[in-house]
Structure 1
Amino acid sequence: MRRWLALLVAATTSLVLIALLVPMALLIRSVAESGAMDRATAAAESVAVAVGTPGLALEVERVARPVTVFLPDGRTVGASAPRSDAVRLAATGRSVTAFAAGGREVLVSALSSGGTAVIRVFVPDDELTRGVREAWLALFVLGLALVVLGIVLADRLALAVTRPVDALARVSHRLAGGDLTARAEPGGPPEVRSVALALNHLAGRIDELLVAERESVADLSHRLRTPLTGLRLDAEALRDPEEAARLQARVDALERAVSAVITEARRRSAGRDSCDAAAVVRERVRFWSVLAEDQGREVSVSLPAAPLPVTVGAEELAACVDALLGNVFAHTPEGAAMSVRLTPHPSGALLAVEDTGPGFDPAFLERGTSGGGSTGLGLDIARRTAESSGGRLTVSRPTGGGARVEVLLTTT
């Protein structure tokens, strides 16, 4: 926008200057020519006074320019010059101006005792244009300076408009990236200030809607937990063990699906948050260590002593760790060892959960098809957590057997 405004002002200023300076340049040339011709005419008239007197030759010599006097008897006094048609016309008693080679000639007639004499004063082209080029150069420099000044002023004016607009664009990009605290600083022209206020109002409204959505998700969680609990109690009350187990499995699957939907809705509505990954993982490992001790599992933990911030909310990361550790307890035999390691990574933080269980085939790690009677929901939650932070989930089989799940989280 700055460039277009500068070009517009430059074009407009140039047109205005051309409209003013071109006539002025022509006027300067005309004034210069007129002055030179007036001086030549004055010189010719001063010589005409001396025609017919003994001092004619002296008067001709006093004039500092080529002067020729054509006497009626055919003689000439002064500089040599041809008797042109203009000279013959002036001999009839008329004063004329005519073009000549290399300049112009001013012809003034004067009466003498023997007839009409003609005084010719030659004006060269250099005298006709004396000072014109310098004046034109001064006009050109003045016009160029005015164009540059106009461009500079237009650039300053454009900055007053583009800076607030650029700030609005940056705020809109921050809002699009999930930073709902971004607000625009009203400034610039009234129209731009109005847009900034409208953008701030929109950001506030989005924040309000997200708060309402989080409240709705929490209410949905409470509303669904109650009927699920009732279904579970009804399934446990059945007399047929096989039917009870089948219904219990259906209720468990429904509960996991509901939990996944609620977790995903919370993740979308919570926006981009951050937490200390070391503190969250330490707390969740401490929670699961009680169950590991009951099952005789050896747990190896390696966590950094310093805080390790990541672009994932604390609740979301805790759910991810719970899903990974829950998979270990659910799909490996009691007594199988496991390890949890959180280490800094060039791209962020790397969370690795490894066990010595039977393992699984990474080729079938898709939602709902992980094998072993699992729905694959835990790994899907971990994958979504990694991707929400800009990282990735990697599943592999260690050399000694078992399974290793690595979650890469980006740092703030």
Structure 2
Amino acid sequence: MRRWLGLLVAATTSVVLIALLVPTALLIRTVAENGALARATSAAESVVVAVGTPDLQQAVERVAQPVSVFLPGGQVVGRPAPVSDAVRLAGAGRSVTAEAPGGREVLVSVRSAEGPVVIRVFVSDAELSAGVREAWLALLLLGLALVVLGILLADRLALRVTRPVHELSRVSHRLAGGDLEARAEPGGPPEVESVGVALNHLAGRIGGLLDAERESVADLSHRLRTPLTGLRLDAEALRDPEEAARIGARVDALERAVSALISEARVRSAPEDGCDATAVVGDRVRFWAVLAEDQERAFEVELPGGPLEVAVSAADLAACVDALLGNVFAHTPEGVAFAVRLAAHERGAVLTVADEGPGFPAELLERGSSGGGSTGLGLDIARRTAQASGGEMTVSRAAVELILGR
């Protein structure tokens, strides 16, 4: 915008200056010519008074300009000059100004006792244009200075408009990236300032809505887990063991589905933030290590030697690791070994959870690898976590690999 405003002002100023300076330049040239011709006419008139007197030669010599006096007998007093058509016309009694080689000649006709006398004063082109080039150069410099000044003023004015607009753009990108604390500093013209105020109001409104959604999710979690606990107690109180196991399995499936829905809602409502994947994965592995030792499971852990930042919040990454390790403990026999590996990747980090169990069913492998459909084994949580960071999830026979963006 700054460049376009500068070009617009430069073009407008140039048109206005051309419309003003060109006539002014022509007027300066005309004034210079008229002044030179007026001085020549005045010189000729100073010689007229000496015509017919012995002082004619002295009068001619006193004039600074080239003067020629054509007497009736064909004699020429002063500077020799050819008898041109204009001189002959002046000899007939008409005072004229005519073009001559190298300038102009001013001819004044005078009647004397011997006959017509013609006084010729020659004005060179240099005299006719004296001071014109200097004046034109001054006008040109003035025009350029005005154009530059106009561009500078336009640039300052454009900066007052573009700087707040760039600030609004920067804040909007921060809001789109999840930084709900970003606020614009209203400024610039009133219209742009009102946009900044509206953007700040919108950001505050978005933050309030997300806070309300998180509170609703937390309340939903408490509301659903209470009746689920009651159902589990009722199932355990049944006398028929088979019926109790069947209902308990359905309650477990319902609880997993509810937990997945709540986790998904939390992921949508939680602000996007990064975390140190090394610290989070290490903490969750230490948590599950207690249960692994109790079930006599051998496990292998490979973590980077330093921090590894990823574009996933610590809570989301912890929930993802818990879901993957929970699958290992829930769907493999006790004593089956597993491994957790975290390494740097060109896109951020790669997390792999593998076990030595029977592996996933073929239909689940197809859905998990493609990222479509619900697996029912917590892999949806892991897949959404990877995709939210700009990565992806791949499921093989006995391993899940997540690529987490930074």
Q: CA deviation at 1:175?
A: 0.4
> What does the per-residue CA deviation read over 1:364-399, in whole Å, with 9 as the maximum and x for residues that have no partner?
4255899xxx944422211111121222223335xx
> What does the per-residue CA deviation read over 1:91-143, in whole Å, with 9 as the maximum and x for residues that have no partner?
45443323344432211122322133111122233321222122212211210
Q: Is the 8 A contact 1:284 1:322 kept in 2?
A: yes
2:127 and 2:50 map into 1 onto residues whose CA distance is 25
> What does the per-residue CA deviation read over 1:236-280, in whole Å, with 9 as the maximum and x for residues that have no partner?
455665555444443333322222221111101102123332332
> What does the per-residue CA deviation read over 1:272-307, in whole Å, with 9 as the maximum and x for residues that have no partner?
123332332233222222222222111222334544
Q: CA deviation at 1:45?
A: 1.7
Query: In the superposition, relative to structure 1, how do residues 69 and 394 fare at CA in structure 2: closer, same or farther (>3 Å)?
Result: same
Partner residue in 1 for 2:173: 173
3-state SS of 2:14 partner: helix
- The answer to whether the aligner puts 1:25 opposite 2:20 as a matched pair is no
Partner residue in 2 for 1:383: 383
- The answer to whether the aligner puts 1:404 opposite 2:399 as a matched pair is yes
Q: Is the 8 A contact 1:368 1:377 kept in 2?
A: no
Partner residue in 1 for 2:216: 216
Q: Is the 8 A contact 1:70 1:76 kept in 2?
A: yes
Moved more, 134-143 or 263-272: 134-143
The size of the alignment, in residue pairs, is 402
2:231 and 2:367 map into 1 onto residues whose CA distance is 25
Q: Given residue 275 of structure 1, which amino acid in structure 2 is its aligned partner?
A: C
1:336 and 1:238 map into 2 onto residues whose CA distance is 33
2:375 and 2:143 map into 1 onto residues whose CA distance is 79
Moved more, 52-61 or 20-29: 52-61
Partner residue in 1 for 2:229: 229
2:366 and 2:256 map into 1 onto residues whose CA distance is 16
Q: Given residue 404 of structure 2, which amino acid in structure 1 is its aligned partner?
A: L
Matches within 5 A, 1:18-57: 18-57=18-57
2:82 and 2:154 map into 1 onto residues whose CA distance is 60
> What does the per-residue CA deviation read over 1:47-73, in whole Å, with 9 as the maximum and x for residues that have no partner?
222222334345435544443222233
Q: Given residue 401 of structure 2, which amino acid in structure 1 is its aligned partner?
A: E
Q: Is the 8 A contact 1:260 1:377 kept in 2?
A: no
Q: CA deviation at 1:361?
A: 5.9
Partner residue in 1 for 2:313: 313
Q: Is the 8 A contact 1:368 1:376 kept in 2?
A: no
3-state SS of 2:378 partner: helix
3-state SS of 1:288 partner: helix
Query: In the superposition, relative to structure 1, how do residues 52 and 362 fare at CA in structure 2: closer, same or farther (>3 Å)?
Result: farther
TM-score, structure 1 length as denominator? 0.88
Matches within 5 A, 1:335-350: 335-350=335-350
Q: Is the 8 A contact 1:365 1:376 kept in 2?
A: no
2:228 and 2:41 map into 1 onto residues whose CA distance is 119
Percent identical pairs in the alignment equals 75
> What does the per-residue CA deviation read over 1:196-254, in whole Å, with 9 as the maximum and x for residues that have no partner?
22211211111011000000111112222233334444444556655554444433333
Query: In the superposition, relative to structure 1, how do residues 368 and 110 fare at CA in structure 2: closer, same or farther (>3 Å)?
Result: closer
1:273 and 1:207 map into 2 onto residues whose CA distance is 15
2:304 and 2:143 map into 1 onto residues whose CA distance is 70
Partner residue in 1 for 2:296: 296
Partner residue in 2 for 1:82: 83
1:386 and 1:301 map into 2 onto residues whose CA distance is 20
Query: In the superposition, relative to structure 1, how do residues 132 and 198 fare at CA in structure 2: closer, same or farther (>3 Å)?
Result: same
1:368 and 1:337 map into 2 onto residues whose CA distance is 22
1:301 and 1:379 map into 2 onto residues whose CA distance is 20
3-state SS of 1:219 partner: helix
3-state SS of 2:185 partner: coil
Partner residue in 2 for 1:262: 262
Moved more, 228-237 or 269-278: 228-237
Q: Is the 8 A contact 1:311 1:410 kept in 2?
A: yes
Partner residue in 2 for 1:400: none
Q: Is the 8 A contact 1:336 1:356 kept in 2?
A: yes
Q: Is the 8 A contact 1:72 1:115 kept in 2?
A: yes
Partner residue in 2 for 1:9: 9
Query: In the superposition, relative to structure 1, how do residues 363 and 119 fare at CA in structure 2: closer, same or farther (>3 Å)?
Result: farther
1:369 and 1:74 map into 2 onto residues whose CA distance is 119
Moved more, 149-158 or 91-100: 91-100
Q: CA deviation at 1:330?
A: 2.1
- The answer to whether the aligner puts 1:105 opposite 2:105 as a matched pair is yes
Q: Given residue 82 of structure 1, which amino acid in structure 2 is its aligned partner?
A: V
Q: CA deviation at 1:36?
A: 1.0
Q: CA deviation at 1:334?
A: 1.6
